[in-house]
Structure 1
Amino acid sequence: MKVIERTLSILDLFLGDTGELSLDEITEASGISKYTVRRMVTTLIKGGYLKQVGKRGKYSLGLKFLDFGGVYKINNIMVPIANPYLVKLSQKVSESVQMAVWDGVRVFLCKAVETPHPLRVVSLEGTRLAMHATSLGKALIAEWPEDNLEGYFSNKLESYTQNTITDFGELIKHLSRIRKEGVAYDFEECYMGVSGVAAALKNSEARVVGAISLYGPITRLNKEKMKEDAPLVKECALKISRELGYRGVHPKNPGDISKIRPKA
C-alpha cells in the first residue's frame, strides 16, 4: 500500500504549474529518498505514465494519461449523449443499435441497445472487432487521411467470412462510396447471418470520433431493408454529432481516395 501511495504522491506533483520536474525536485517535494524516486520514475516511464523531457533531466506526465482521458470522455460524455438517440432509433426500426470508437487497429463497442426480438444479434460492450469487416469500422476509416489508409492496409486484410473484403483496391473503392453516401454497409462480412448499416459521428472540429450502426440477422435486415433504414441511421448520427458540437449540415467529404495504394 505504501508503494501505491508513494507513486500517487509523485504523480500528483506533476499537476502543478510547470508540469515538469527533475529527480531532485521530485525528491525534495515528496520527501522520498532519491534512490527510491529514481526507481519509481523508471517504472512509471516504462508504463508510459511519465516521459523524459528532451535532455534537460526533467520529466512530465506521459501519453498513457491520454488513454484514461479517452475512456473518461467515452463513458461520461459520448455514451450519455448518444444513448437517448440510440434507444429511439432502435425502437423505430425494431432492431439492435450500437456505438463504437476506434481503438488502435480495431473498432471498440462502447454502447449497445438490443431489440426485444426473440431472434436477435447480441453485441457485448467492450468487444473489439476488425475495421475492414464491419460497417462501424468502415464508417470510421472511410474518413481517414490517405497516409493512414496506405500505412494501415499495407498489412494483410484478414478474412472472417466468404464476404470479407480482403483486396485493398476493392476496399478503397468501397470506402470511396462510403465517403460520398455517408453510410457504410456490412453484408455478412464479419459474421455469417449478420448485416448492418453505419454512419460516422463528428465533433465540433468536424473530426470523426465514433460511429453508430443498426445491425441484425440477415433474415430481417436484408439489403433492401438496410437501404430503407440507412437514412434513419444517418439522421441519428447527425443528431448525435450536433450534440457533440458538430455544426455542419452533413459530414464534410474528405476528398477522393480511389487512386491510393498500400505502402510497400
Structure 2
Amino acid sequence: MENQAREARPQHRSTMRVLDILEALANSTAGLTMADVCREVSAPKGSISPILHTMADSGYVAYDESTKRYTIGLKTYLLGKSYDRESSSMGLFVAAMREVTNACGETCQLGVLDHGRVLYVAKVDSPQPVRLTSSIGRTLPIHYTAIGKVLVSELPEAEVRSMLAEPLERPTAATIHCADELIAQLGEVRETGFAYDREEATEAVQCIAVGIRRHGMLEYGLSVTTPSYRLSPEKRDRIKSALTRAKSHLELALA
C-alpha cells in the first residue's frame, strides 16, 4: 500500500526540473548551453532560465561566461563526495573493485538501474596507459552495456521491452539491432551469470559484468572493461575469476 501511494503521489514540477537539469549536466562532459539544457529537459527557456540562474548563484551549477555553458557546480560535487564518504557500502564496493583491478589490470565499474538506464556510481581505473575513459554519474542505455544486460536479466520480458525505444541507438556496428536480440542475450546471462558488451558501446573495447545481490535482490552490476586487443582467453578467464570472487565477497558482506 505504501509503494502504491508513493507511485500515485503527484510530482512537483519545479523540483523535477532541478533534478532533470542536474542529471543532464552530469551526463555532459563539455557542459551545456541554455538551449541545450532546455532541449535535454524538454522545457521552455522561460521556465528553465530562472532555475538555472538560481542554481548558479547558489553554486550548484557553474557558468562559464566565455563558452556560455553550464556544468556541475562545486556544491553539487561536494554533496556527491559526502555521499561517497558516508556510505559504508560504497567503501566496501570500492575496496572490492580495487582487488578486481589489481587481479586483472583493467578498469572496474559499478552501476545500478536508474529509470531504465545504467547509472555508473563508482569506478577504479586501470593502471594501463591505454584504458577506458568514463565518468561516474553518467547514464547509458541497457541494451549495449554489460552492466545493463545483467541488471535487467531477471526482469519480466515486458518490463525490459518497455525500457527500450526502437529503433535502438547503435553507437557501433556491433550493437544489437532490436529488442528480440537483447531478450535472447538475457537468456544466456541467466544461464552463465555473465553479461557481455562485445564492442557494442565503443569500438575495440569489450566489457564483462556480473550481478551483485543484496538481500536476495539483484541491485548492482560490477564490470571489467578492457581494450579488445588485451582480451586474450587467459585474460578473459582472469577477469571472470576476479569478478566471481568480488561477487561472492560483496554479497556475503551485504547480507
TM > 0.5: yes
Q: Does 1:181 align with 2:196?
A: no
Q: Does 1:226 align with 2:236?
A: yes
- 1:78 corresponds to: 89
1:125 to 136, 158, 163: 136
Cα root mean square deviation, aligned: 2.7
Which residue in 1 is equivalent to 2:104? Answer: 93
Runs ≥4 in structure 1, deviation > 6 angstroms? Answer: none
Aligned counterparts of 2:84 and 2:128: Cα–Cα separation in 1: 31
TM-score normalised by structure 2 residue count: 0.64
Q: Give the counterpart letter for 2:128 in structure 1.
A: H
Distance 2:111 2:84 in 1: 13
2:35 paired residue number? none
| Aligned partner (choices 98, 102, 114) of residue 103 of structure 1 | 114
Please report how far the alpha carbon of residue 228 of structure 1 lies from its aligned counterpart in structure 2 after TM superposition.
4.5
More helix by share: 2
Q: CA separation of 1:123/1:101 partners in 2, compared to 1, >3 Å: closer, same or farther?
A: same
CA distance in 2, matches of 1:137, 1:74: 26
Q: Where do residues 106-255 of structure 1 align in structure 2 (5 Å cutoff)?
A: 106-153=117-164, 155-204=166-215, 206-222=216-232, 225-245=235-255
Which residue identity does 1:135 align to in structure 2?
Answer: A
Contact kept in structure 2, 1:101 and 1:210, CA below 8 Å = yes
Give me the whole-angstrom Cα distance separating, in 2, the residues matched to 1:195 and 1:185: 7
Provide the residue aligned with 2:67 in structure 1: none
| Superposition deviation, residue 91 in structure 1 | 0.3
Asked if the contact 2:212/2:218 (under 8 Å) is kept, the reply is yes
Displacement of 1:169 in angstroms is 1.9
Q: Match for 2:244: what amino acid?
A: K
The TM-score with structure 1 as length reference comes to 0.62
Q: Aligned equivalents of 1:183 and 1:75: distance in 2?
A: 31
Q: Which has the larger radius of gyration?
A: 1
Residues 50-87 of structure 1 deviation map (CA, whole Å, 9 limit, x = unaligned): xxxxxxxxxxxxxxxxxx9xx95997143212111100
Distance 1:199 1:109 in 2: 14
Answer whether contact 1:195 1:222 (CA < 8 A) is retained. no
CA distance in 1, matches of 2:222, 2:163: 22
2 CA distance for matches of 1:74 and 1:201? 21
- Aligned partners of 1:183 and 1:199 also within 8 Å: yes
> How far apart are residue 223 of structure 1 and its match?
6.0
8 Å contact kept, 1:198–1:234: no
Alpha-carbon separation, structure 1, partners of 2:114 and 2:205: 22
User: Is contact 2:166–2:178 with CA below 8 Å preserved after alignment?
Assistant: no
1:199–1:233 Cα contact (<8 Å) kept: yes
Measured in 1, the distance between the counterparts of 2:254 and 2:166 equals 33
Aligned with 2:169: secondary structure?
A: coil
